Chains A and B, each alone.
Chain A
């Protein structure tokens, strides 16, 4: 089994998660992506390669440039991305419960 193709492995790295977030609403070239990080450019390239291999990113040639696109269909396989959203609501609803329990006592 090729570990690189494992989506969970891919998003375990914080730089790779940041890259994915950066590409959520826009497509960018490798250079533009790298300029957002202090990490050396070859390291960013490596991350892009891993993300592309596991299909979280798609490459598209536009003239001389290669643009990286986020591939959301693959993302849905990742419970990890649904989990922060669920957790956010869970925290808010816990707060609601706590506040309204006190409200009831007043």
Chain B
């Protein structure tokens, strides 16, 4: 079966592409990216601030067992309803430089759509480091280990 979510990271490049096809109209996918309450639900993060408009900014915060383990922020450069969001993304208290993200929302049919996210990093090295970060639990890593690593980056 073809995977609904794909990640393309070519050797030696400073970018990566994430694509996803949704069984949802494009308007609903865009909405899920535009409203704080919805982002909080699907991203599992707290939205401290979100101004969904050109030159608006945002800040997300993730906690685990009462401790803040991750915070990210950015500025929105382009905001075109149901079409695209261009924004910066910066992980606070980490050695990672700010990234640039191009989100494109495409209508496929009345009830299906595609999201393409192009992430640009300062260098190929930072992209590779990000990919190696133990985001997912799938790598058999205890959660406290993950927290330890994130704390050590501070």
Contact = CB atoms under 8 A, between A and B. Distances in A.
B108 to A, nearest CB: 14
Interface in A22-36: 22, 24-25
B9 A76 contact: yes
Contacts of A14: 140
B20 to A, nearest CB: 5
Nearest to A96: B42
Nearest to B7: A86
A100 B26 CA distance: 11
A14 B29 CA distance: 37
B18 A72 contact: no
Interface string A44-77: 0000000000000000000000000010110110
Interface residues of A, number: 34
A8 interface: no
Contact of A85 (B23, B125, B136): B136
B4 A90 contact: yes
Interface of B: 3-7, 9, 11-12, 18, 20, 22-24, 28-29, 31-32, 38, 41-44, 95, 115, 125, 128-129, 131-136, 138-141, 145, 149, 153
